[in-house]
A and B are shown apart, each in its own frame.
Chain A
Amino acid sequence: MEYKTLTELSKELTTKKISSVELTQFFLERIKSFDKKLNSFITVTEDHALQMAKQADEQRAKGEAGRLTGIPFAQKDIFCTRGIKTTCGSKILDNFISPYDATVVKRFNDAGAVLLGKTNMDEFAMGSSNENSYYGPVKNPWDLERVPGGSSGGSAAAVAAYLTPGATGTDTGGSIRQPAALCGISGIKPTYGRVSRYGMIAFASSLDQGGPMARTAEDLALLLQTMSGFDEHDSTSVDKPVPDYLKTLNDPIKGLRIGLPKEFFNQGLDSEISKIIHDAVREYEKLGATVKEISLPNTELSIPAYYVIAPAECSSNLARFDGVRYGYRCDNPKDLEDLYKRSRSEGFGNEVKRRIMIGTYALSAGYYDAYYLKAQKIRGLIRDDFMKAFNEVDVILGPTSPTPAFKLGEKMNDPVSMYLSDIYTIAVNLAGLPAMSIPAGFTKGLPIGMHLIGNLFDEERLLKVAHNYQKVTDWHTKIPEGF
């Protein structure tokens, strides 16, 4: 069963070539053998997993199995799991046992997927390198001295090293796509409102969106199908039918109109990556797509706008961590203010504190118009750029990240340079669009991701476009040496 995709494993379970208990044991063993090197899991739920696997096998014996019944799976530790520690990568939630399941978790449980554990992440999903986790950095399986990307770095590294066939991620400014690119796997950030945010610990509520990470677009289609759909518990969930993503996956893409934004291929882009992306474009031309240059003129403004909106919303969301109702509380508080201040200061890491302070400043009296309102208007400009582009093309294609995985520690003391590594992904969140990253090649042994951006609710087309590429290439099948 080594290195089979999630879809292939699902078939093996259906044809009874293997049981869920055997499959679960296989992945638990791999986690035990390899995760010391990677640190991709915060919690491994071994007993719970074996019990779920046993139930899945019983269900299958009764003929009640679905496509995910008995499939081992990992959840990013931002999703609340009832009775299981949910930390969000933070000391402030180190003792937090969630009293309820996130809707996404519930949907995977209902589908019979087996929870292997909770994956490591940047604290409160704030970061692009996974170095901001209270539980230590995650290592990139392609080079243990390099970062896996972030914030869903644990999920990306675990899938890349085949410690799980799939996992969830969340994407506020690129946190699914950038780690997928840096670890050589596939990941999709759906349209804002497509996947429920209920029980997904909030960072920036107008940008956050959960999505799946796996080896192939076919696997993503199956997982997204399970995750998507209306949820009355999420007030921004969109009540719109979910298409059958698997049904159209194999449809040809002849006549597809691809746009290459010239702003994605400027001097900031590594020349090797540029070449790899252009090779991928040629594959698409062979498949019958037409390609034209387009412009997204306000791309550069996306990062400054994001670093107002995301911190502002985070400062408001993270106000709930007060040391009173749950989570970390400081020792011997002398009064209520001391309780708040020390619990928060001792519980949050540096990047989280920086963002809370930027957000607090931007929302403080007298500054709202200059920062938050201005950023929301830039958001309007960015969306208009995309809408204009989608009048001319069906999908937008480019690199996911301007560089391959960088070295651990390289950008830790310079927040702004870390922020710039998300230049291609952030605008997508500001506009609420769906987008994905799939493997497109290697440079110096490190994987490179191709970024595909679709119009609102166009996940079906994105998955089809990605799957067509994966049928004629094999970048998505590569496994890092030593795993």
Chain B
Amino acid sequence: MSLTAADVKKIAHLARLNMSEADIALYTPQLSNILAFVEHMNQADTSHIDPIANPLDLSQRLRKDVVTEKNERDQFQAIAPEVQVGLYLVPKVIEDE
């Protein structure tokens, strides 16, 4: 699989990464090489094999639906870039009328 510069731009957007033209020129061949390498997988016949998500075939353990966490908001927000009255601040999302 060979990626084009447009593909890489689209992937970067999906991953919420900024890419300069120089970055795209660097990443396009590297990512194409990795994908070409990954496609060696197609040599293997896996039609009779079940996919593995957990190596021990265990499924996610469930817990009782009870409150176990204590309120540590202030402590968690102490390391946030910007907070005000217990809220995380980000640039305005909804435009003015």
Contacts and interface: CB of A to CB of B under 8 A. Distances in A.
A449 B44 CA distance: 30
Nearest to B37: A416
Contact of A341 (B17, B30, B76, B91): B17
Nearest to B82: A329
A442 to B, nearest CB: 32
A325 B15 contact: no
Interface in B61-97: 61, 63, 72, 75-76, 78-82, 88, 90-93
Contacts, number: 167
Per DSSP, are chain B's interface residues mostly helix, strand or loop, or mixed?
loop
Given A298-B44, A358-B34, A364-B14, A432 B90 contact: no
A236 B58 contact: yes
Contacts of B41: 301, 304-305, 308, 374-375, 378
B29 to A, nearest CB: 10
Nearest to A97: B79
Contacts of B21: none
A360 B15 contact: yes
Chain A, interface size: which category?
Answer: 35 or more
Nearest to A300: B40
A361 interface: yes
Nearest to B78: A99
Contacts of A99: 72, 75-76, 78-79
Contacts of B88: 324-325
Given A235-B60, A324-B88, A96 B11 contact: no
Chain B, interface size: which category?
Answer: 35 or more
B5 interface: no
A253 interface: no
A115 B14 CA distance: 40
Contacts of A354: 27, 30-31, 34
A345 B17 contact: yes
Given A358-B34, A361-B35, A383-B52, A326 B79 contact: yes
Contact of B15 (A191, A323, A339, A357): A357
Given A333-B91, A354-B27, A342 B37 contact: no
Given A324-B81, A415-B34, A416-B34, A206 B54 contact: yes
Per DSSP, are chain A's interface residues mostly helix, strand or loop, or mixed?
helix
Contacts of A456: 56
A2 interface: no
A327 B46 CA distance: 42
Contacts of A338: 91
Contacts of A324: 80-81, 88, 90
Interface of B: 3, 7-8, 11-12, 14-19, 26-27, 30-31, 33-35, 37-44, 46, 49-56, 58, 60-61, 63, 72, 75-76, 78-82, 88, 90-93
29 contacts: A193-B58, A232-B63, A235-B60, A236-B54, A304-B38, A304-B41, A307-B38, A325-B88, A329-B82, A335-B93, A340-B16, A341-B18, A342-B18, A344-B15, A354-B27, A354-B30, A357-B17, A358-B38, A361-B11, A364-B14, A373-B51, A374-B41, A377-B52, A381-B49, A416-B37, A430-B55, A431-B55, A432-B54, A433-B55
